[in-house]
Amino acid sequence: MAAISTLGYVCVSASNLDAWESFAVDILGLHAERRDGGRTLALRMDEYEQRILIAEGVDDDMVAAGWKFDTADALETFVLQLGKRGIRAERCDAALLASRRVERAYTCVDPDGMQHEFFYGPAYAPASRPFRSKVLLGRFVTGELGIGHYVSAAKDYAATIAFHEDVLGLKISDHIRAPLETPMGTIPFDGTFFHTETGRHHSFATAQIPFPKRIHHVMIEVSDFNDVGLAHDRCIAAGVPIMMGLGHHPNDGMFSFYCVSPSGFAIEFGSGGLVVDDRTWEVRTYSQLSDWGHKSPAR
């Protein structure tokens, strides 16, 4: 059975590319390149041509997830498997392949309206254009672990779980069922976390949470925990809103904070995430989102 290797990239539709460019470069430490006459913004984290593609638009939300396969045969086998599960994946045309900087790709849409793009053959930047960050001490943790993760605010929680487990074949890492404090008061939180073949604790998670966007956040990870504190300081100095302050998650071991992106969803900036070994991993249910910190600034 062919399986997704990792989350290779994400795509965002945004109304303010200028704000995104300064946020990505000066706050997060990414490298930005303008394309298509300035209508798209390609963000680099490593040797890939892009990891985050931001296109001019009105959604101000994540619109596509790019799932990587290590071989063309694995991709084609997976697409056949989707067909047997009643999901028809459309082969992407040359324009979309050029936009995504990949060799081959197929696409389908999930119950929440997210476009999933299954691809093989990412483009790498030439050696003459190595990735360099203006602000990081260390590096972004990518490679076989992929870009990081994203968390959806599910419209239909059960259908979203079923799609990612039964259709995409992602593996459940664990669950969190805990009270969640919101501006509207304390509500129950129920979240499910999924990993791919390469084992980042979760490349995708979904939860029943009141949030106006399709996703709650995208997480990017750095190798040096000092970069987390420095990014937090840069947010405060630049007036970037903090959604949740510095803290630690018990399930994936991530030390992180959450800031508000120019599109209104959050970016989790963290370090120290766990990698799942399926030979020994046990699925657990946690009763708290964070074992310390991650408080709203208002609290």
Q: Are 99 and 152 found together in one domain? A: no
**What are the two backbone dihedrals, phi and then psi, of residue 298, each rounded to the nearest 5 degrees?**
-70, -15
Closest by Cα among 51, 126, 128, 131 to 42: 51
Helix (H) or strand (E) holding 220: strand 215-221
Angle (CA) 168-290-231 rounded to 5° is 90
Give the per-residue pLDDT at 208: 86
Does residue 241 belong to any structural domain of this protein?
Answer: yes
Residue 285 lies in a domain: yes
Task: Using alpha carbons, select from 135, 66, 59 the residue that is nearest to residue 107.
Answer: 66
Q: Has residue 299 got a pLDDT over 80?
A: no
Residues whose CB falls within 8 Å of the CB of residue 44, separated by 6 or more in sequence, listed in order: 30, 31, 32, 33, 50, 51, 125, 131
pLDDT of residue 184: 59
Within a domain: residue 132? no
The answer to whether residue 90 sits within a structural domain is yes
Please check whether residues 37 and 72 belong to one and the same domain.
Answer: yes
What pLDDT score does 163 carry? 97
Residue 30 belongs to a domain: yes
Residue 92 maps to a domain:
yes
For residue 194, which of 269, 116, 131 has the smallest C-alpha distance? 116
Q: Is 130 part of a structural domain of the chain?
A: no
- Enclosing domain of residue 90: 6-122
The DSSP bridge partners found for residue 174 are 193, 284
**pLDDT value at residue 1:** 63
Give the pLDDT confidence score for residue 183 in this predicted structure.
Answer: 59
Write down the pLDDT at residue 59: 97
Mean pLDDT of 268-297: 96
pLDDT on residue 273: 98
Q: What is the mean pLDDT of residues 22-36?
A: 97
Residue 209: the pLDDT is 84
pTM (2 d.p.): 0.96
Indicate if 75 and 187 belong to the same structural domain.
no
Number of domains into which the chain is organized? 2
Q: For residue 258, what pLDDT is reported?
A: 97
- Say if residues 177 and 253 touch (Cβ distance below 8 Å): no
CA-CA-CA-CA torsion sign (26, 28, 32, 34): negative
Work out the percent of the chain whose per-residue pLDDT is above 90: 93
Is the pLDDT assigned to residue 113 strictly greater than 90? yes
Domain match, 272 and 211 both: yes
Whether residues 113 and 206 fall in one domain: no
11 and 102 within one domain: yes
Give the pLDDT confidence of 186-218 residue by residue, as tens digits: 778 899 999 999 999 999 999 988 889 999 999
Could you tell me which of 250, 259, 244 has the C-alpha nearest to residue 293?
244
Q: How many CB atoms lie within 10 A of CB 19?
A: 13
Same domain, 157 and 280: yes
Q: For residue 251, what is the domain's CATH number? A: 3.10.180.10
Tell me whether residue 27 is in a domain: yes
- Model confidence pLDDT, tens digit, residues 215-255: 999 999 999 999 999 999 999 999 999 999 999 999 999 99
Closest CA to 110 of 265, 219, 266, 214: 214
Please give the distance of CA 244 from its chain centroid, rounded to a whole number.
Answer: 17
Same domain, 17 and 57: yes
